[in-house]
Amino acid sequence: MTLRLGDTAPDFTAPSTQGEIRFHDWIADSWAIFFSHPKDFTPVCTTELGAVAKLKGEFDKRGVKILGLSVDGVEDHEGWSRDIEATQGVKLNFPLIADKTRAVAEAYDMIHPNAEATQTVRSVFVIDNQKKVRLSLTYPASTGRNFDELLRVVDSLKLTSNNSVATPANWKHGDDVIILAALSDEQAREKFPNGWRAERPYLRYVPDPSAGARKSS
**11 and 24 in contact (C-beta within 8 Å)?**
yes
38 binds ligand BEZ (CB under 6 A): yes
Phi and psi for 50 in degrees, rounded to 5?
-65, -45
Helix orientation angle between 43-61 and 147-162, rounded to the nearest 10 degrees: 30
131 binds ligand BEZ (CB under 6 A): no
68 binds ligand BEZ (CB under 6 A): no
93 binds ligand BEZ (CB under 6 A): no
- Binding to ligand BEZ by CB under 6 A, coded x per residue (else -) over 136-165, reads -----xx-----------------------
From the candidates 9, 45, 84, 154, which is the catalytic residue? 45
61 by DSSP, 3-state: which? helix
Classify residue 21 by burial, with Cβ atoms within 10 Å: 0-12, 13-18, 19+: buried
Smaller CB separation from ligand BEZ, 38 or 68: 38
List the one residue from 10, 12, 15, 44 that touches ligand BEZ (CB under 6 A). 44
* 113 counts as catalytic: no
Q: Are strands 31-37 and 177-179 parallel, antiparallel or unpaired?
A: unpaired
Enumerate binding residues for ligand BEZ (CB under 6 A).
38-39, 42-45, 141-142
- Catalytic residue numbers read 45
